[in-house]
Amino acid sequence: MGKKLTSRAEDYSKWYNELVIKADLAENSGVRGCMVIKPYGFAIWEKMQAALDRMFKDTGHENAYFPLFIPKSYLSKEASHVEGFAKECAVVTHYRLKNADDGKGIVVDEDAKLEEELIVRPTSETIIWDTYRRWIQSYRDLPLKINQWANVVRWEMRTRLFLRTAEFLWQEGHTAHATEKEAVEEAELMMNVYAEFAEKYMAVPVIKGTKTESERFAGALETYCIEALMQDGKALQAGTSHFLGQNFAKAFDVKFASKEGGQEYVWATSWGVSTRLVGALIMTHSDDNGLVLPPKLAPIQVVIVPIYKGIEQLEAISEKVHPLLNDLRAKGISVKYDDRDTHKPGFKFNEYELKGVPVRLAIGQRDLENGTYEVARRDTLQKESVPAENIVAHIEQLLEDMQKNIFERAKQHQQTHITEVDSYDEFKAVLEEKGGFISAHWDGTAATEEKIKEETKATIRCIPLHVKNEEGKCVVTGKPSPYRVLFAKAY
């Protein structure tokens, strides 16, 4: 385990980096910017995937798989799209290695140069819309609602485990519709699915809204997003859903015969969330002792640690524990009995605290005599003694309570960190001293947005959904503004 975690107050960024490593979630690999997701971190991602995949299927989507590589020419068909991604693309130029004649080991075989370079997908709109041209002929082929679980690559210069990596895992939904209205509804639906997932599974409260033009996805007419707030007062974009209009349909010539008999371009959406969510999860709930995980996404929900001297005591405890393991598993609760003889209980307590196991049961000689378990909950670190006969029901209830409690705690933090300001000075002061979301009037221009970003590093996170009309003046230019938007520094 090594030495204690740096505290959040001391250095939030260092705390995060250490926690990811110490809790065995992920680590850097020998490939610049690419991480290795370790089994414990991957188990969290698997739980996220399972819940999201169910939600996608329940809303009528099917999974499919499209190629990793995109011909360079495809990428350039949609002008703003190529502009957004060209500068961070990994490019495959050759398909063979050979032994160098000069004994330098293996080198790229220049004879095996590709006629057209291939891009490792940074996102798949282009290869998918090239495919949809073959799949869509008639209104009967619509809507087409497909999702893909995949790895993508964006050559980022500064990377951080989970938050920003050159390769990351994600899902990308790509849908095609006969009407603009239907496509907009789909983009909104998926934003809502993401928000529901964030709040119900991750216990992360989010604000729903739309992006300003300069913050939109390259190729989108509207980008819907969910924005979360981390404990250090910085925002994190947790999911986006794009209304793409007919941009990709036009770029790839995807038309359909309408009911009325005409030929029309198809309307599109795309939407995605990534392994970045694991970073958001860590930063929202965890504390100076380690991870705090919502029970619904915890790989291990309950750990049982025996406290004993000698094999006889251990056997007596194990005899009591084994039926409990079965009872908990029968309820769908994942439980681990850590009867390793190589580590002391104190060491194990620290380890499971660091790894964020929601509920820890300890059972020693006195508990055996009294017919109790010592139950510790990870979120509040509170302990209590619980009669063995109630233990299963107690744990079930506790897991539910914890799921709610950590959401409420995060919601409380979010709510107390949305500050309305009416001057630029106040804007800067709040940003500096308190952080969080700043609700302010803005004149609607990209120039002012850019000026604020340059001077304060804050960006417009979103124009909140159902924003209330309120005449006001831009905090920078004093020009009229019809409603407030949310600013924050962001990950």
Contact criterion met (CB below 8 Å) for 301 and 44: no
Q: Which of 105, 108, 118 has the alpha carbon at shortest distance from 72?
A: 118
> Which pair of structure tokens corresponds to residue 157?
């210069």
The CA-CA-CA angle for residues 274, 278, 280, to 5°, reads 100
What pairing do the DSSP bridges indicate for beta strands 359-363 and 302-306?
parallel
Q: Which stretch binds a second copy (CB under 8 A): 149-157, 215-223, 304-312, 437-445?
A: 149-157
Which amino acid is it at 123?
A: T
**CA 76/CA 436 separation, integer angstroms:** 38
Considering only residues 125, 167, 227, 351, which one is a binding residue for a second copy as defined by CB under 8 A? 167
Q: Shortest Cβ distance from residue 60 to a second copy (Å)? A: 12
- Given the complex with a second copy, which of 88 and 400 has the nearer CB atom? 88
**Burial letters 441-465, b for 16+ CB under 10 A, else e:** bbbbbeebbeebbeebebbbbbbbe
| Number of residues located near a second copy, criterion CB under 8 A | 63
Residue 374 as a binder of a second copy (CB under 8 A): the answer is: no
What's the min distance (Å) between Cβ of 428 and a second copy? 35
* Beta carbon nearer to a second copy, 88 or 401: 88
87/65 Cα distance (integer angstroms): 25
* Residue (62 or 401) nearer to a second copy, CB: 62
Taken in order 79, 82, 85, 87, the sign of the CA dihedral is: negative
Angle subtended at Cα 398 by Cα 392 and Cα 399, rounded to the nearest 5 degrees: 95
User: Does the protein bind a second copy through residue 98 (CB under 8 A)?
Assistant: yes
- Continuous H helices in 252-390: 276-285, 310-330, 345-354, 365-370
Candidates 147-155, 208-216, 257-265, 331-339; binding stretch for a second copy (CB under 8 A): 147-155
- Interface segment toward a second copy; rule CB under 8 A; list 7-15, 118-126, 354-362, 381-389: 118-126
Q: Is 212 helix (H, G, I), strand (E, B) or coil?
A: coil
Of 115-123, 260-268, 403-411, 483-491, the segment contacting a second copy by CB under 8 A is: 115-123
Applying CB under 8 A, does 30 fall inside the site for a second copy? Answer: yes
Any idea which residue has 């090594």 for tokens? 2
DSSP 164: B
17 or 477, CB closer to a second copy? 17
Query: Please, which of residues 297-356 interact with a second copy by CB under 8 A?
Result: 342
Judged by CB under 8 A, the residue of 20, 23, 120, 230 near a second copy is 120
Beta strands in 81-121 (DSSP E): 91-94, 97-99, 106-108, 113-120
- Select 77 or 208, whichever has its Cβ closest to a second copy: 77
Q: Which stretch binds a second copy (CB under 8 A): 123-131, 207-215, 329-337, 384-392?
A: 123-131
Which residues, 33 to 92, sit near a second copy by CB under 8 A?
A: 34-39, 42-43, 45-46, 62-76, 82, 86-92
Q: Does 119 bind a second copy (CB under 8 A)?
A: yes
What is the nearest approach in angstroms of a second copy to the Cβ of residue 109? 8
Q: Which of 469, 456, 465 is nearest to 486 (CA)?
A: 465
| 127 scored as a contact of a second copy (CB under 8 A) | yes
Selected range binding a second copy among 151-159, 175-183, 318-326, 446-454, rule: CB under 8 A: 151-159
Q: Which stretch binds a second copy (CB under 8 A): 117-125, 197-205, 239-247, 303-311?
A: 117-125
Q: Which is nearer to a second copy, 36 or 429 (CB)?
A: 36
CB of 193 to a second copy, least distance (A): 19
- The residue type at 389: E
List 17, 18, 51, 108, residue binding a second copy (CB under 8 A): 108
Alpha-carbon span 81 to 206, nearest angstrom: 27
- Transcribe 392-455 into DSSP letters: HHHHHHHHHHHHHHHHHHHHHHHHTTEEE--SHHHHHHHHHHT-SEEEEE--S-HHHHHHHHHH
153 binds a second copy (CB under 8 A): yes
Is residue 334 within 8 A of residue 368, CB to CB? The reply is no
Nearer to a second copy (CB atom), residue 84 or residue 345: 84
Q: Where along the sequence are the contacts to a second copy (CB under 8 A)?
A: 27, 29-31, 34-39, 42-43, 45-46, 62-76, 82, 86-98, 105-106, 108, 117-120, 127, 130-131, 134, 140, 146, 150-151, 153, 155, 167, 169, 342
